[in-house]
Chains A and B, each alone.
Chain A
Amino acid sequence: MSNKPEIDEVTGVETTGHEWDGIKELNNPLPRWWLWIFYATVVFAIGYAAYYPAIPLINDFTKGIGGYSSRAELHKELAAVEQSRAGLVQQIAETDVADIPANDQLMRFAVAGGEAAYKVNCSQCHGSGAQGGYGYPNLNDDAWIWGGDLDAIYATIAHGVRHEGDDATRFSMMPAFGVDQILGREEITGLAHYIRGMAGLEHDQAQAQGAAESFDINCSGCHGTDGTGMPALGAPNLTDAIWLYGSDQDQLVSQIHDPQHGVMPAWVGRLGEGTVKQLSVYVHSLGGGQ
């Protein structure tokens, strides 16, 4: 490198004398204040790394002198939320479930809280949209096995269905007409045709008529003489369009021969009054509540 600075021909700018494969670096000086800002960011970074958790170690990390932790921050915020809700949850627990809709603030809180609780506790069986499935009732529709007003829904959620640990649980047991040899094969087939007839479905009229008497004797005690069911006994309506275990001839025969009985846990002990009431209000608000 000579002492005399070399001037680049094209730009008229002097070069730094550095050259790589014929490419020469021009000396376009950076402003000095820019360099100072760079130093300032370095100083800031050191301070930042010292104050906050920053450097990963093998089994741990540097904690920083500020004692900051995003996890602790989260806990603090959650506690604050919990505290702000406590009053309303308490109020809901103390209010009769049927009176909640009258209070607008309670109602909105209960529906929102019920939805959250539903997603966590109920969606596993009833589906995330409460749409139900085979053997699990759809909670959106207007057919209720154990009753669809707020008090009935509350009782069902609180104490469950056929839940052995709860004395107040909903309990009913349809006889296994086939397995227990109460009815013969032909009688059961005829009953299935009769039921399909009541529901307005395609059926063999001759066989259905033959089973009318049998229905009166064996079924009407719980399902009613017109087959519209009895929520107090948990006997479903057999004339509507909604079938928990299906409405095909085979499915009906199977259900009469050896009935399936769904079980739902009692929730009040696990979730508490407030949450169960919120759940009741939420389920009631899905569109089928009576």
Chain B
Amino acid sequence: MSTADQAPDDLDPTNGSVAKQYDVEPVNRRDRQEPLYAPKKKIYPKRTEGTFRRLKWIIMAITLTIYYVTPWIRWDRGEFAPDQAVLIDLMNRRFYFFMIEIWPQEFYYVAGMLVMAGIGLFLVTSSVGRAWCGYTCPQTVWVDLFIWVERLVEGDRNRRMKLDKTPYGPEKIAKRTLKHTIWILIAVSTGGAWIFYFADAPTLFVDLFTGDAATFAYGTVAFLTFTTYTLGGHMREQICTYMCPWPRIQGAMLDEHSLTVTYNDWRGEPRSRHQKKSAEEGKSVGDCVDCNACVAVCPMGIDIRDGQQLECITCALCIDACDTVMDRLGRDRGLISYTTLNDYNHNMELAQDAQGRIAPEKVHTKDGRITDTARRTNWRSIVRPRTMVYFAIWALIGLAMVWHVADRSRLDLNILHDRNPRFVTLSDGSIRNGYTIKILNMMPEPRTVRLSLEGLPGATMTMPGAADAPRQSLFLDAEPDRLRTQRIFVRAVPGSVEGAVADITFHVQDIFGSEEATYEANFVTGEE
């Protein structure tokens, strides 16, 4: 790294100014005249290190791995079904997820997952604020990745700012070309990985290069390449601030017990660039040295010291940056920290003097540490009735779905009674009704089922067009993983039915297995 990037290293509590101040201004400063249409202010997030940065690297590695690797996992389902573990087969309207196969009419599982995702969002947000935004949102993950590439090629904040200002020369052109090439490669592989979820990945991978893939596949890759490159490389924080509804929704889910990234002004204010001098002059000084490190590292380009704000995705990088500075100054960490509004208010009460001004000496010991009466980040605030209720609902839905999936039948029967004519009188006086039988064999193996009928003694069934004699039950072959539609006629012997309508039950049973399904239907006689 260049010397320019090592700004915090020259922190020296002995010189007049305690810490070098970054020349940075939050993008959303409110106290100056703005035009009606504001130009985008470029943000140069500075590199930082610490607990949350490490956590973000780990989460990035996990989420990207899941995204890129999942379509390549194989899962043997026998010869009649694809062997891709996760596959959305739109052409055949099947969704495969490891041992689970979902047919379109079972889409309620997906609805259940969405309900779980919604309640999970309530749960996470009410406990740790906008953690989704800060750590796992694809926009955040990919922007993080793109910024990492940018830093690798062009250097850290100061170098990037300098490079932006220098006129185009061989070095700048080379760096820019390299950066955008890597960005586009990432974008292409992002779009490329997406389509693998919708077709057999190894086949499609080869087809993509030989030109045999569907036009739609190329179109999707192109579109996702464009969006990834634009959103990750260029739009970045604009997506979160102006386009995404999540910040608005999530803001409404926070309460006074939610952990959010907070600047603890009760110990930081009054901030001072010249702490020693101020102290000597008898002014009270807080912990904040106004070094702007928190603003310089912020990928959203905001100043967390302005309080909680819509733009903040709570990535907690400012915590890392501030902790680094506090460590170097020999002060307690946590000037910026995950804090609940409740704890913040408690500490603020401790720190205020009679006039309601912040008096830092009230929360500091003589050697500059924070008094024990002040509350610190307490992760136990996550466990409280509200989050427990969310968790209980979330878990209940999950368990119900697991139980339902485990218990569901893979053989189903649907029957449509002919509407017109509803019945036909035959020459011997017997009554015939027509039905369209739909047998759903949801197993990836061929099956033979026996179709029988209850509620009409002596009634026989025939398949139109088949030469077979009428029978009391029919044996039908069902193709693997397919719906079989079969027209049948049911013929009731004269005098066997009383009344205008008889309630009957159709029944299918796998002749080699135990699965069965029934369907309640009507037999119309036409009698008045």
The residues of A with any CB-CB pair to B shorter than 8 Å are 5, 7, 11-14, 16, 27, 29-35, 101, 107, 127-131, 138, 140-143, 200, 237, 240-242, 285, 287-288
Contact = CB atoms under 8 A, between A and B. Distances in A.
18 contacts: A7-B31, A14-B33, A27-B36, A29-B37, A30-B37, A33-B238, A34-B242, A35-B37, A129-B418, A129-B419, A131-B421, A131-B424, A141-B432, A143-B426, A240-B427, A241-B425, A241-B427, A287-B434
B424 A14 contact: no
B421 A27 contact: no
Given A12-B31, A27-B34, A33 B424 contact: no
Contacts of B465: 101, 107, 285
A240 B428 contact: yes
Contacts of B489: 287
B408 interface: no
Which DSSP category, helix, strand, loop or mixed, fits chain B's interface?
loop
B4 interface: no
B210 interface: no
B429 A241 contact: yes
B242 A287 contact: no
B165 interface: no
B38 interface: yes
Interface string B232-247: 0000001001100000
B421 A31 contact: no
Interface of B: 30-31, 33-40, 238, 241-242, 418-421, 424-429, 432, 434, 464-465, 489
A61 B31 CA distance: 53
Contacts, number: 87
B426 A241 contact: yes
Contacts of A141: 424-427, 432
A32 B38 contact: yes
A242 B425 contact: yes
Nearest to B235: A33
B396 to A, nearest CB: 41
Contacts of B420: 127-129, 131
Contacts of A130: 421
A114 B418 CA distance: 18
A17 to B, nearest CB: 11
B236 to A, nearest CB: 12
Which DSSP category, helix, strand, loop or mixed, fits chain A's interface?
loop
A129 B421 CA distance: 5
A13 B421 contact: no
A268 B34 CA distance: 82
B38 A30 contact: yes
B235 to A, nearest CB: 8
A31 B37 CA distance: 5
A241 B34 CA distance: 91
B421 A14 contact: no
A241 B434 contact: no
A129 B465 CA distance: 18
Given A140-B421, A287-B432, A31 B427 contact: no
Nearest to B243: A34
A31 B424 contact: no
A122 B33 CA distance: 79
A198 B222 CA distance: 79
Given A141-B427, A241-B425, A287-B434, A5 B33 contact: yes
A288 B462 CA distance: 12
B37, B421, B425 interface centre (most CB from chain A within 10 Å) = B421
Nearest to B427: A240
Contact of A138 (B421, B429, B434): B421
A16 B238 CA distance: 23
Contacts of A27: 34, 36
A31 B34 contact: no
A31 B425 contact: no
Contact of B424 (A101, A128, A138, A200): A138
Given A129-B421, A131-B421, A241-B427, A31 B30 contact: no
Contacts of A30: 36-38
Nearest to A107: B465
B39 A32 contact: yes
Contact of B40 (A33, A101, A127, A241): A33
Contacts of A128: 420
Contacts of B418: 129
Nearest to B431: A241
Contact of A237 (B31, B241, B427): B427
B427 A242 contact: yes
B293 to A, nearest CB: 24
Contacts of A11: 30
A204 B398 CA distance: 74
Nearest to B489: A287
Contacts of A5: 33
A237 B418 CA distance: 27
Contact of A31 (B40, B432, B464): B40
Contacts of B30: 11-14
B33 A31 contact: no
A27 B375 CA distance: 38
Given A14-B33, A143-B427, A31 B242 contact: yes
A122 to B, nearest CB: 14
A138 B427 CA distance: 11
B10 to A, nearest CB: 34
Nearest to B430: A241
Contacts of A12: 30-31
Nearest to A28: B34
Contact of B426 (A7, A35, A107, A142): A142
A251 B413 CA distance: 45
Q: Can you list the 4 inter-chain pairs with the closest CB atoms, starting with the nearest?
A: A129-B420, A240-B427, A131-B421, A29-B38
A31 B238 contact: yes
A146 to B, nearest CB: 15
A181 to B, nearest CB: 33
A241 B418 CA distance: 22
A14 B34 contact: yes
B429 to A, nearest CB: 4
Given A129-B420, A141-B432, A285-B464, 20 more contacts: A14-B31, A14-B33, A14-B34, A29-B35, A30-B38, A31-B238, A31-B242, A32-B38, A32-B39, A34-B37, A35-B37, A101-B465, A107-B465, A141-B425, A142-B426, A241-B425, A242-B427, A285-B465, A287-B432, A288-B426
A33 B242 CA distance: 11
B161 to A, nearest CB: 21
A7 B32 CA distance: 10
B33 to A, nearest CB: 6
A125 B74 CA distance: 60
Nearest to A34: B242
Contacts of A29: 34-38
A107 B34 CA distance: 75
Contacts of B35: 29
A195 B219 CA distance: 75
B442 to A, nearest CB: 26
